[in-house]
């Protein structure tokens, strides 16, 4: 066991669980950097002490994080919504998904071979074999479906930790539940998922709730900085209302009076992926000196 995991080394530290590998890990590390959570993770160790805050980062499999947050001493975690739901009602109902992180988006789907002539709808899979790495969600989906259509046949759910996509080709299953597949087509969607910042619904006795709120605010600011840019421009007062309809800001735009009494200066946060269209529309209503500035960080 790592020396860092000794209780005396974690005392008075907020425990923050991060996916140790996979699709979420790299983006999580970038998020921590933007939130000024400074740490150095030693090679092959799954615990790192943060240097500038009383936090210990614990690197865990994404599927395990909901269990540690709900039933262990972990105060914060990042994992997928799908992982929270797959952990079951006892876990998911004990967790507060406090912040959507905007990455790790995917859909949990039921998929079958594209060439299949006998399986066209999800109802055609009732009574057959389903291979999945999300056995709890899949079992619930098919039990509900069986009840809905009044079928006495029971669908078999086979758990696979990996190689789910090969199950149909190798004769293990008639259909699969998966996030990605090759040579397969989706016929139903069980769940839409993305990464979430989670915490226990009832804070642990040792939790530093003020620090939890601080970290959440920092992460919220980093996400907003990636999603928005600052748009600044000058506009004749007679067209101000038209311009503000184009750039209302997240809450409200900032309007200032210029020395030229017939003009206003406006500053507003706008969505990064809408910048070109917004600039076109502002020009059409008479705006000038339109500037787009990147936001490194913010609090919103």
Alpha helices in 44-120 (DSSP H): 65-71, 81-86, 89-92
pLDDT at 101: 95
What average pLDDT score do residues 270-278 get? 96
Q: How confident is the model at residue 282 (pLDDT cuts 50, 70, 90)?
A: very high
The residue with greater pLDDT, 1 or 208, is: 208
Q: Which two tokens stand for residue 262?
A: 């017939």
Q: State which fold the 228-294 domain adopts.
A: Alpha-Beta Plaits (3.30.70)
Q: Determine the Cα angle at 176 with ends 172 and 182, to 5°.
A: 100
Q: Which two tokens stand for residue 285?
A: 């209503």
Residue 242 CA to residue 235 CA, distance in Å, equals 10
Nearest to 193 by CA among 29, 67, 24, 33: 24
Contact 47, 57 (CB under 8 A): yes
The residue with greater pLDDT, 268 or 189, is: 268
Q: Which two tokens stand for residue 287?
A: 């705006």
Residue 156 CA to residue 142 CA, distance in Å, equals 9
| Poorest-pLDDT segment among 1-5, 10-14, 38-42, 143-147 | 1-5
pLDDT at 111: 86
CA separation, residue 198 to residues 84, 99, 102 (Å)? 9, 7, 14
Residues of the chain above pLDDT 70, percent = 90
Residue 9 predicted with pLDDT over 70: no
Residues of the chain above pLDDT 90, percent = 64
Residue 198 CA to residue 84 CA, distance in Å, equals 9
Residue 22 predicted with pLDDT over 50: yes
Q: State which fold the 106-192 domain adopts.
A: D-Maltodextrin-Binding Protein; domain 2 (3.40.190)
CATH top-level class of 3-104+195-207: alpha beta
Each domain of the chain, given as residue ranges in start order, spans: 3-104+195-207, 106-192, 228-294
Contact 63, 159 (CB under 8 A): no
The yes-or-no answer to whether 3-104+195-207 and 106-192 have a common fold is: yes
Residue 92 DSSP symbol: H
Residue 1 predicted with pLDDT over 50: no
The residue with greater pLDDT, 223 or 4, is: 223
Residue 164 DSSP symbol: G
Contact 81, 101 (CB under 8 A): no
Specify the pTM.
0.83
Q: How confident is the model at residue 6 (pLDDT cuts 50, 70, 90)?
A: low
Residue 7 predicted with pLDDT over 60: no
Contact 157, 132 (CB under 8 A): yes
pLDDT tens-digit map of 216-244:
999 999 999 999 999 999 999 999 999 99
């Amino acid at each position: 066991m790592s020396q860092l995991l000794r209780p005396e080394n974690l005392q008075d530290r907020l425990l923050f669980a991060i996916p140790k590998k996979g699709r979420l890990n790299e983006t999580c590390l970038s998020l921590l950097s933007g939130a000024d959570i400074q740490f150095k993770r030693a090679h092959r160790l799954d615990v790192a002490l943060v240097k500038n805050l009383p936090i210990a980062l614990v690197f865990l499999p994404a599927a395990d994080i909901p269990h540690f947050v709900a039933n262990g001493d972990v105060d914060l975690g990042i994992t997928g919504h799908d992982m929270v739901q797959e952990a079951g009602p006892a876990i998911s109902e004990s967790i507060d998904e406090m912040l959507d992180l905007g990455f790790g988006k995917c859909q949990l789907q039921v998929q079958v071979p594209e060439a299949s002539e006998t399986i066209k709808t999800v109802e055609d899979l009732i009574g057959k074999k389903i291979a999945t790495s999300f056995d709890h969600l899949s079992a619930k989906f098919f039990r509900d479906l069986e009840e809905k259509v009044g079928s006495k046949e029971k669908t078999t759910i086979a758990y696979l930790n990996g190689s789910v996509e090969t199950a149909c080709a190798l004769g293990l299953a008639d259909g699969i539940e998966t996030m990605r597949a090759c040579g397969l087509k989706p016929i139903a969607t069980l769940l839409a998922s993305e990464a979430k910042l989670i915490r226990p619904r009832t804070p642990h006795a040792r939790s530093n709730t003020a620090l939890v709120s601080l970290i959440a605010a920092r992460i919220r600011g980093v996400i907003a900085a990636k999603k928005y840019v600052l748009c600044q421009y000058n506009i004749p007062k007679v067209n101000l209302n038209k311009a503000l309809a184009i750039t209302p800001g997240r809450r409200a735009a900032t309007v200032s009076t210029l020395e030229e009494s017939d003009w206003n200066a406006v500053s507003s946060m706008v969505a990064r992926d809408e910048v070109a269209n917004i600039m076109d529309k502002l020009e059409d209503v008479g705006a000038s000196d339109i500037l787009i500035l990147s936001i490194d960080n913010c609090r919103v």
